[in-house]
Every structure is written in structure tokens, then in C-alpha cells.
């Protein structure tokens, strides 16, 4: 019979073994349950067949789930507000992040639509029929809200008139909304209320119309200073699409007070692509455009009446306040003697009779001094009335570009500030006959504007001619860089030109010019026309150097 002592030892041993076995058994593991999913982005934009990354995190870092999107067992999906998986894009990849519990999902556009905006969320399965959702985020296509997406590498200007109303007038504005989709480093612009009308003289009657935009409030556009008024130049007859663009570049190299900023764009009007345009600052009196003193109706005598003024010389003679000054060359105006002057600022409704009389007399007195016996005298001659440096640089821009409009004259501007002299500029409208021997065959061997307006008389002063020659040589190193700029413009405009000339035929400009095409490259290919422009430009630099 076992003693009580031996029985106690047996019990202790059993308890010890039991305790030892209990220590060796692993603790039962709890399966982490997913409680929340958080996304970092609130909105993503997808280019056509392009991708964007969405970063998300699961709060329970140890939660394991199948995120291999091509696997049938993948536990992640997208869901719209209607509970359906979006059809325009999908999750193409998910990879874990550097931190535990963080992931990056790649969303890819499927190329099925150019115009969509979807509110979606991530759904991660936490059971056979249980999903934990993230918050909603927005996925939109690159062309969302634009109706039509034009992809040429240029920004796209969208103008929608009220009720789709047609633009049939150069004087009557149509209410509209403007939106700009940025591209190529240029920022876009959200919906802006505006008005739009036609503009131009001959160009208004061509199939591809130019327009004037007047915004409800001043806005900066493409980095240019905020303003209400902007022009959309059609460049209809310009096979290179860059005559105005290059001319403004040349002007910007000079000391002229202001050169209009401009950017090539695509225009979509009422949902229809209208082709390649040049969005450019309108010539207006403003602190950041033509910077002259703003006139008041009370500025009628003393120093106050001396400025500021903006004048336009234009053979169309369509300004409300205008006159013919009898001095100077009449260029191509066979039936008109003298030079046509018009007042652009102050506006006709604001211009007083005293102001009109003053600026008209100032122009007359300037010409009297220029054509007088003492015209070379710095105190009695033209230098007392004209800002000579500006007239030198203005002439150089027209001459380099072979623009005969200085002698026509057309779209030629001058301005005068309070207490100041008459200043040449700004440059404007360089599409007609520029760098073309069609309109100026003598440009192959000689000067185009040696006898334009007042320049015939100015060049009779050896000091003025010497000043022009010295200034041209000073500018020449920069002017010689323009062909490289043309190369850049050619690359930039290639796709835009392809689409534009599927819609418009520049040779149709002959219908407005007696059956004669204007620039001479209208029937060329875009690239051949650019090569011709570049060659003519290089020839101009050589010809001017020989003739000055």
C-alpha cells in the first residue's frame, strides 16, 4: 500500500509535467480584422490611356489581403457611388509601401472616353461578403468638362456662347464663357464670363474668323498681365502659322516700350474645333501695355492736355476720329495724299475737342519740323518732336520682317505720353506679306521701307541713317538667333498645323486679293513654308547689312 507521501510526490510530478506541457504549446493567434482604409489623394487626373498613383493605408498594419490585381482572389476593387465598378479606368497594379500598412495603387485610363468625372472609393474585402470602404475621391479624365479634347501640345481655348449664339458682327458682342485647358507649361483657366465679337478688316471676311474677347473681370492669361481684352488671331493665310509669333519675338529684342505677349493655342468654339490661333494681348492703353497717362475729360489745357494718346496709322481709315496729314509719303495709297492718322485713345466718347485739336496739331507740327529747312537741328528739327530711338527700332523690326505695311500704312501705331515726344510702336499685325517676295519683290536686293511714311525724310539725315546702321549692327547677334527660334516654333506647331490645314486652305486668301495669293507659300506644305520663311529671313539680314 502506497504511503501518503509517495502519493503526494506523484501528484506534484504530474502537476509539473502538465505545467511544462502548457508552456511549450503556442498561444492561439488572433486574425487581425480590417477596420478602416484611408486614401491620401482627393482627386486624380488621367490622361488618355495614362496612369496616376493613389496612395492608401490600412490602419491595421498586420492585416493581410490579396492585392494582386490580376488574381481572381484579389481583395481590392473600386466602387462608384452607385456601387458599380467604373468602366473608364481600373486598378492596374498595387504595391506595398516602405511603411507597414501603406500601399500604392496605380489607376489606368482604358481609353474608352475623353470626358468623365467619377467619385469612387477603394473597397477591401474583410470576409466573403464584407468590404471596408475608403472615403470617396474623384477621378477625372484629362478632358473632363471640355466636351472635345484637342491634343497638339498647345493650350486649348474653349469659348461657349450663350445658347450657342453665332458670332456675326465686329461691333456687337455675344455673351459667352471662356475656359482654357493648359498645356506645355502654360496654366489653364477656369470658367470666366466674357463677351466675344469678330474683329479685323479683310481678315474678318475670310472663312477662318479672328475674334476679340472681353472678359467680365481682368484675368492673367499664360503668365501675361491681367487684363479684360484679348485677341484671337486666326492667321488664316499664313501657312507657317508663325509670322506674327516670330515678329513679336523680333520686336521684343528691341528697346520698344512694349511688345504684345502672345501664345499659340487651339480654339474650340461652341464645341467645334476651329484650328490653330494666336492668343495675343490687344493694343490698349494700360500700365502693362501702352503705358501712357490716362486722360480725363478735364485734361484740356496746360501740361495735362499733352497726353497720353495712342494713334493708329491705317489706310482702311476706319477710326471714328481720323484725318489725313498732308506731309510724308503716301506709299501704296494712290488715291490719297498724305498719311492717315486716327486716335485710338482716348476713346471717341471720351475725347474732348480740345484734346483732339491738340494731338492733331502736334502731329502736324512734328511733320512741319521734319520737312522744314532745319530738320537736322536737334532743337528745331524732328528730334525735338520724335523719340528717335523708338523710330529707329520700329523701322528695324518692319525692315527685318520685310513688312511693307509701314509704308501702306496699316496697323502702324504711335503714342505720346504727357509732356513727352511722339513714340513709335507697338508692333502689330505681321501676317500680310511678311518675309515674302510676293508682295515686296524688291526685298531681295533692297530695303522695303526706306520711303515709308516719314522715313524717306528721316533717311535724308546722315545722322539718322548712321544711327539706324549702328543699331542694326548692335541687334544683329540677337537677330541671328531668330532662325533657331523658328525651329522651335516649327516643332511646337507641327501637329497644330496638320489639324489646322485639314480644315482651312490658306490659298483661299486669293478670293480677297483679286485672285492673287498674298504670301506666296499658301500652296506649300507647312514644313516647306517654314523653310522658305527661314531662308527669306536670313536673306533679309544680309540685304539690310549691304544697304545701310
The mean-pLDDT minimum among 46-60, 65-79, 255-269, 320-334 falls in 320-334
120 part of a folded domain:
yes
Percent above pLDDT 90 for the chain: 82
Give the DSSP letter of residue 506. G
Mean pLDDT of the chain: 92
415 part of a folded domain:
no
Q: What is the pLDDT of residues 471-503, one digit of tens each?
A: 999 999 999 999 999 999 999 999 999 999 999
pLDDT value of residue 130: 85
pLDDT value of residue 144: 87
pLDDT confidence of 11, banded at 50, 70, 90? very low
pLDDT value of residue 529: 98
Contact 235, 244 (CB under 8 A): yes
Q: Please, which residues have CB within 8 angstroms of residue 151's CB and are 6 or more apart in sequence?
A: 48, 495
Query: Can you give the three-state secondary structure of 307-357, one letter per residue?
Result: CCEEEEECCCCCCCCEEEECCCCCCCCCCCCCEEEEEEECCCCCCCHHHHH
pLDDT value of residue 318: 85
String of DSSP letters for 349-418: TT--HHHHHHHHHHHHHHHHHHTSTTTT-TTTSGGGTB-HHHHHHHHHHHHHTT-GGGTTT-SEEEEE-T
Q: How far is 492 from 185, CA to CA, in rounded Å?
A: 12
- Phi/psi zone of residue 429: left (φ > 0), alpha (ψ -120 to 50 degrees), beta? left
- In this structure, what CATH number is given to the domain that contains residue 88? 2.60.40
179 part of a folded domain:
no
137 part of a folded domain:
yes
* pLDDT, average across residues 356-373: 97
Residue 238, C-alpha cell as written in the block: 499664313
541 part of a folded domain:
no
529 part of a folded domain:
no
* pLDDT, average across residues 283-288: 97
How many domains does one find in the chain? 1
453 part of a folded domain:
no
46 part of a folded domain:
yes
Enclosing domain of residue 115: 37-141
Residues pairing with 171 in the sheet: none
Amino acid at each position: 500500500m502506497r504511503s501518503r507521501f509517495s502519493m503526494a510526490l506523484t501528484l506534484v510530478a504530474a502537476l509539473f509535467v502538465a505545467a511544462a506541457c502548457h508552456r511549450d504549446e503556442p498561444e492561439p493567434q488572433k486574425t487581425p480584422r480590417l477596420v478602416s482604409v484611408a486614401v491620401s489623394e482627393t482627386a486624380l487626373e488621367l490622361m488618355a490611356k495614362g496612369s496616376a498613383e493613389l496612395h492608401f493605408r490600412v490602419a491595421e498594419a498586420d492585416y493581410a489581403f490579396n492585392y494582386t490585381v490580376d488574381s481572381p482572389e484579389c481583395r481590392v476593387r473600386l466602387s462608384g457611388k452607385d456601387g458599380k465598378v467604373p468602366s473608364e479606368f481600373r486598378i492596374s497594379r498595387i504595391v506595398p509601401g516602405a511603411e507597414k500598412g501603406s500601399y500604392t495603387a496605380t489607376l489606368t485610363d482604358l481609353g474608352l472616353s475623353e470626358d468623365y468625372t467619377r467619385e469612387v472609393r477603394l473597397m477591401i474585402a474583410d470576409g466573403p461578403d464584407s468590404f471596408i470602404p475608403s472615403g470617396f475621391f474623384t477621378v477625372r479624365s484629362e478632358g473632363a468638362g471640355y466636351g472635345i479634347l484637342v491634343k497638339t501640345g498647345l493650350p486649348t481655348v474653349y469659348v461657349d456662347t450663350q445658347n450657342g449664339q453665332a458670332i456675326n458682327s465686329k461691333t456687337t458682342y455675344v455673351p459667352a464663357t471662356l475656359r482654357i485647358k493648359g498645356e506645355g507649361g502654360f496654366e489653364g483657366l477656369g470658367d470666366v464670363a466674357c463677351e466675344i465679337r469678330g474683329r479685323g478688316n479683310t481678315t474678318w471676311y475670310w472663312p477662318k474668323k479672328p475674334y476679340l474677347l472681353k472678359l467680365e473681370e481682368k484675368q492673367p492669361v499664360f503668365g501675361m498681365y491681367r487684363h479684360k481684352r484679348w485677341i484671337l488671331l486666326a492667321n488664316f493665310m499664313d501657312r507657317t502659322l508663325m509670322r506674327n509669333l516670330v515678329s513679336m519675338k523680333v520686336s521684343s529684342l528691341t528697346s520698344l516700350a512694349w511688345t504684345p505677349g502672345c501664345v499659340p493655342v487651339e480654339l474650340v468654339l461652341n464645341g467645334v474645333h476651329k484650328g490653330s490661333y494666336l492668343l495675343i494681348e490687344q493694343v490698349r492703353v494700360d500700365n502693362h501695355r501702352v503705358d501712357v497717362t490716362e486722360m480725363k475729360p478735364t485734361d484740356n489745357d496746360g501740361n495735362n492736355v499733352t497726353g497720353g494718346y495712342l494713334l493708329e496709322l491705317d489706310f482702311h481709315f476706319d477710326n471714328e476720329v481720323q484725318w489725313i496729314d498732308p506731309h510724308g509719303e503716301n506709299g501704296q495709297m494712290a488715291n490719297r495724299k498724305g498719311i492717315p492718322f486716327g486716335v485710338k485713345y482716348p476713346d471717341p466718347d471720351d475725347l474732348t475737342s480740345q484734346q483732339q485739336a491738340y494731338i492733331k496739331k502736334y502731329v502736324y507740327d512734328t511733320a512741319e519740323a521734319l520737312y522744314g529747312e532745319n530738320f537736322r537741328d536737334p532743337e528745331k528739327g524732328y528730334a525735338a518732336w520724335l523719340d528717335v530711338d523708338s523710330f529707329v527700332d520700329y523701322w528695324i523690326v518692319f525692315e527685318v520682317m520685310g513688312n511693307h505695311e509701314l509704308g501702306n500704312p496699316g496697323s502702324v501705331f504711335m503714342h505720346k505720353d504727357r509732356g513727352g515726344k511722339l513714340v513709335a510702336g507697338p508692333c502689330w499685325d505681321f501676317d500680310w506679306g511678311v518675309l515674302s517676295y510676293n508682295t515686296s519683290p524688291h526685298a531681295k536686293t533692297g530695303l522695303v521701307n526706306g520711303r515709308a511714311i516719314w522715313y524717306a525724310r528721316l533717311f535724308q539725315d546722315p545722322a539718322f541713317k548712321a544711327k539706324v546702321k549702328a543699331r542694326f549692327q548692335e541687334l544683329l547677334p540677337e537677330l541671328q538667333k531668330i532662325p533657331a527660334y523658328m525651329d522651335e516654333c516649327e516643332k511646337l506647331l507641327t501637329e497644330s498645323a496638320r489639324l489646322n490645314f485639314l480644315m482651312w486652305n490658306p490659298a483661299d486668301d486669293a478670293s480677297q486679293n483679286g485672285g492673287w495669293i498674298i504670301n506666296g507659300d499658301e500652296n506649300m506644305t507647312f514644313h516647306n513654308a517654314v523653310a522658305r520663311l527661314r531662308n527669306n529671313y536670313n536673306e533679309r539680314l544680309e540685304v539690310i547689312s549691304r544697304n545701310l
